[in-house]
Each structure stands twice: as structure tokens, then as C-alpha cells.
Amino acid sequence: MSTTATLVAPLRRRKLPIGLQTFRQIIEEGYYYVDKTGLALDLIEAGKYYFLSRPRRFGKSLLLDTIKDLFEGHQDLFKGLAAETRWDWGRKFPVIHLSFGEGVLHSREALAQRIGEILNEQQIRLGVQCQNQSIAGIFSELIQAARAKTDQRVVVLVDEYDKPILDNITDAAIARDMRDGLRDLYSVIKGQDANIQFAMLTGVSKFSKVSLFSGLNNLKDITLDARYSALCGYTDKDVDTVFAAELPGLDRDKIREWYNGYNWLGTSVYNPFDALLLFDTREFRAHWFETGTPTFLVDVLMARHTFTPDLARLVASESLLSTFDVDSMPVEALLFQAGYLTIDKVRRLPGMTQYTLRFPNLEVRSSLNGALLERMSHDPARQSDLAPRLYDLLLDNDFAGIQTLITAFFESIPNQWFTNNPIAQYEGYYASVFYSYFAALGLDITCEKSSNAGRLDMALRFNAQVYLFEFKVVELVPDGRALQQIKDKGYAKPYLGLGQPIHLIGVAFSKTSRSVVGFELETLFL
């Protein structure tokens, strides 16, 4: 009896659209494309005015360019996509596409000049000529002229609507000037309602309607609309199907742990830039974080003496996440809108909605904590050297070495940081530094683990072992309270069923020397 082997054709690999934002180029040149046209059509069919906030490098520009080609009727580009059979290709609409992605502007005059250039480019592209002189006048006339020429209402798409403000966010006066200049431009959209078929603005931040959109209060904000959570970004299904040819040789669970997890009340997604760079380099790295995490963000967290363990479990109301403005930047809104935190849980109360936030994935958790450590020590090279050593010491269970290493790190923090930090005398500060040190390594950490007996400061599960930490601040000499509390409160009980060694570690910090003065250990072998 003979058998015949079944030959399986290898999956076809395509070019990776790294950094590409032009829909036509991606389709015509055979790049991978994740079909978002069905969701785009859902938007178009359901309403007229939209606003969407997503972090940088999430595909917002590509989304708008796709919508542009859809309204312009380029049927040949949509072959095989969801829009091919759903769109009326007999109608074509004039599209005004404004983008502030290019260049950096630092004055109201420069902004006015750039807006004038953009509007002039649109006049040339649409084959019309405007006579008005003011920005609002030109924009208004452009919409009217485009409709008159084509006998179709106009589509208005604005990409990176907030970039001129964010580029100056550390200078409140200039940022306010930019905000006012943009408000003058965007207010035209509402006034031209009769001539507009569809309008959409996208950006990173969600400025309050009072400050920037007071003249455009008819926008429907779909940032937290579960139906459109995956409008930008790649879903697990996208990774498994569209990019199936890229997966061999990569640990699928590790891909998910490193890069998945961004959520806006619906389907969780990957940052496209992360996924594409992983498929290209075949290396698990902080691809997105390394491309432009603003020093401003780290500065704000440091200036407000943020308790870093709280970053993994912040609670915020819906209104707080929407209060971002030049003069009001809550840490919760800043981190959420920039993509460093995402939604974990939702609690709906009478009259309000409450969100619990978390780090989206391993990349963000480890990288942000690493950046905070570098700022604390003012010596990035030293921190980069100490972190890998901590990992090696944990592998060897070298607790004396760990104590020496942690002590060295605390001693590397400049004295003025303690002087200017009102929480430096409290356990929370030391727990914060300790947590960030371990979190920067991407380890499995839980802070203030709750049990029937109380709350443990920090639990670490690593290398088939459990490490339970309790922190105490003492005047100078350790008194054994930290270790004793772990035992008295029975913090080890939830882990007894694992059958793993459990290390009880009491760490004492001196309020005087501002460093580790006690490191008591007891191990339970089960």
C-alpha cells in the first residue's frame, strides 16, 4: 500500500507597509493591507460628522486616505475589499484633505502661513480659485466652490488636527495661540453644513469641546465607541490571517504579550507599527516606544511625583479622560490619549461612567518604567547596566547581590530629587522606585496584592518561584517589622497551592540615609 504526500503551498509573503500612509500605493504595489473599508462604510452610512482620537502611528492617516479614495470613486483600488460591493460607484465627491503632519510650527504667524499653503494646495488639486483673504474666508469659499463645480456636497478630512498644539505643549502661551488659530479654521465646517457630505477629524489628543471645538460642537466622538474600537490597529484575527505568512518562527503568545492590548471598549488591537517592525526585524523590541516617547510625558510624571505602581490600575471618570487642554492635563488623560494606558474595566454608575486603566502590553509597561528610572537616576547608562544585572541575580536567587544592587541604585539618585520630592519620606516613594526597577525588566509583578488579611506591597512571580516584598521606612536601624508583617498577615497563603518556593522579603529604607538598610529573607519550601 502506497501513500501520497499532500503538498501544501507556502504562504505568499507580501511587502510590509512600514511607514506608508497612502492607500493607493499600498494596493497598487502589493503591500499587505488590513481591510478597514467595511468599518469606514459603517461610519459613513450612520452619520456625517466624526472625531477620532488614537495614539501616534496607529494608522489614522491611512484611514483618512482610504476614505478619501472611497469618496473620490476609485473603484479599481477596492477590488476584493468590503467596500467593493457596498459603495455606489456612480457618485463621486470632491474631497478637501487637510493635514498638519508635516513640519513643526512655533508661532501663530507660522500656523497661518501653513494653513494658507494647505488651502492653496487644495484649490489647485480641485481646480478652483478663491478670492477671500482670511483663513476662514478662504476655507469657506473653497467648500462652496468645490460644490458648485461638481454639483456634489464636499467631504472634509482633517489629519493630525492637533499637532500644532502638541508640538508646543510645553509652552502654554504658544499652545494657546495655536489652539485659537485652529479653532478659527475648524469653525468653518459647521457653518458650511449645507455644502458638506461628510467630515472627519483625527488626532492624538482629545481637546475639550469648550476650548477647541466651541464652534464645531456637532462632531460625534467615536473614540470610545465599541463598534469602532478596531477602526485603527490590527486585531488578533488580522495578525493570524492577513499576516499568516509572517508568523512562522515567531512565538505567537509572545507577540500577543508584547504588542496586543490596546482597547477602546471593543476589540483589542495591536499598534500596526509594532507588528510591522516585528515582522521585519524578527526581534521583540519596544519598536513603537523608541520612535518618539516625549520627554514632556516623563517630565510631567516626575514633576507630579507619580506613584508608579498606580499606573497599572488608575481609575478615571469619562469626563476626566476628556478634559485634556493646554491649561489642564490630568495624568490619566495624558497617558490614555498618548497610548501609554488603555481601558481595562468599565463601571457604569448613575450619572457617570468610571474606567479602570492599565498598561496595554509588555512593551509599554517595561519601557515607560525604564524611562522613569533613567530620569530618576539622571544616568541612563548606569540604569541600563544595573537592570540586566538584577535579572541575572534573580535567576541565581542571589539576595545579597540584589540588596547591593538596589542600594547602589538608590544611592545614584541625586540628592536634590529627594529634597524636591515631598513623598520621599514615605513608603510609597521607595515602593514606586522598587516597582519600576522590576517592571522595567518586564517581570510578572502585582503591587498591593489584596488578601483577606490586608495588602502586600509587591508580589513577583519569576522562574517558577514567588517573591513577596513588604516595604518599611525606618529612622535608621531596621526593626524587622516588614518581614514580620508578611508572616503575621499570611500574605503567602494565596500562593501555597502553586507548589513553588516562596521567598518572604522585608525591605527597610532609611529616612535619613535614603537607601536600603535592611533586607530580611525567609523562604518557604513546599
Q: According to the model, what pLDDT value does residue 153 have?
A: 98
Q: How confident is the model at residue 450 (pLDDT cuts 50, 70, 90)?
A: low
Contacts of 381 (CB under 8 A, 6+ apart): none
Name the nearest CA neighbour of 368 among 392, 389, 344, 342. 342
Q: According to the model, what pLDDT value does residue 6 have?
A: 45
Query: What DSSP line would sit under 173-199, residue for residue?
Result: HHHHHHHHHHHHHHHHHHHTGGGEEEE
Distance CA 413, CA 425 (A): 14
Q: Which residue has the higher pLDDT, 420 or 469?
A: 469
Q: What is the dihedral of CA 203, 82, 85, 151, to 10 degrees?
A: 10
CA-based end-to-end distance of the chain = 55
Q: Is 126 inside a domain boundary?
A: yes
Distance CA 422, CA 200 (A): 45
| Cβ contact 258:241 at 8 Å | no
Q: Is 280 inside a domain boundary?
A: no
State how far the alpha carbon of 105 is from the alpha carbons of 98, 242, 351, 526, in Å: 16, 38, 41, 63
> Residue 514 maps to which CATH number?
3.40.1350.10
Q: According to the model, what pLDDT value does residue 1 have?
A: 43
State how far the alpha carbon of 256 is from the alpha carbons of 99, 244, 363, 512, in Å: 32, 14, 11, 44
Lowest mean pLDDT segment, chosen from 292-296, 307-311, 320-324: 292-296
Give the other-Cβ count within 10 Å of 500's Cβ: 16
Q: Is the model's pLDDT at 515 over the cut of 50?
A: yes
Q: How confident is the model at residue 3 (pLDDT cuts 50, 70, 90)?
A: very low
Give the other-Cβ count within 10 Å of 480's Cβ: 13
- State pLDDT tens for residues 142-184: 999 999 999 999 999 999 999 999 999 889 999 999 999 999 9
Q: Is 93 inside a domain boundary?
A: yes
Q: According to the model, what pLDDT value does residue 10 have?
A: 63
Lowest mean pLDDT segment, chosen from 76-90, 210-224, 226-240, 351-365: 210-224
Name the nearest CA neighbour of 64 among 157, 196, 162, 163. 157
* Domain edge (last residue) among 209, 225, 241: 225
- Taking the model in full, what pTM does it have? 0.90
C-alpha cell of 480?
524587622
Q: Is 207 inside a domain boundary?
A: yes
Q: Is 268 inside a domain boundary?
A: no
Q: Is 86 inside a domain boundary?
A: yes
- State pLDDT tens for residues 328-346: 888 889 899 999 999 999 9
| Cβ contact 366:435 at 8 Å | no
C-alpha cell of 504?
518572604
Pairing mode, if any, of strands 502-510 and 516-524? antiparallel
Q: Is 470 inside a domain boundary?
A: yes
Q: List the Cα angle 321/324/326 in 5-degree steps.
A: 170
- State pLDDT tens for residues 240-265: 999 999 999 999 999 999 999 999 99
Distance CA 36, CA 33 (A): 9
Q: Look up residue 305 and give its DSSP letter.
A: T
- State pLDDT tens for residues 382-435: 666 777 888 999 999 999 999 898 888 777 766 555 455 544 445 667 778 888
Domain region containing 507? 376-524
Distance CA 187, CA 193 (A): 11
Total number of domains constituting the chain: 2
Bridge partners of residue 450, in order along the sequence: 455
State how far the alpha carbon of 420 is from the alpha carbons of 304, 354, 483, in Å: 11, 33, 30
Contacts of 513 (CB under 8 A, 6+ apart): 476
Q: According to the model, what pLDDT value does residue 339 have?
A: 94
Q: According to the model, what pLDDT value does residue 306 have?
A: 80
Q: What average pLDDT does range 431-454 have in this prediction?
A: 77
> Residue 118 maps to which CATH number?
3.40.50
Task: Sheet with 49-53: list strands edge to edge.
Answer: 95-99, 154-159, 196-203, 49-53, 220-221
Q: Is 6 inside a domain boundary?
A: no
* Domain edge (last residue) among 189, 206, 225: 225
Residues written for the chain:
526
* Domain edge (last residue) among 225, 240, 255: 225
Q: How confident is the model at residue 454 (pLDDT cuts 50, 70, 90)?
A: low
Judged by DSSP in three states, 12 sits in coil
Name the nearest CA neighbour of 97 among 70, 131, 121. 121
Distance CA 5, CA 141 (A): 69
Amino acid occupying residue 495: Y
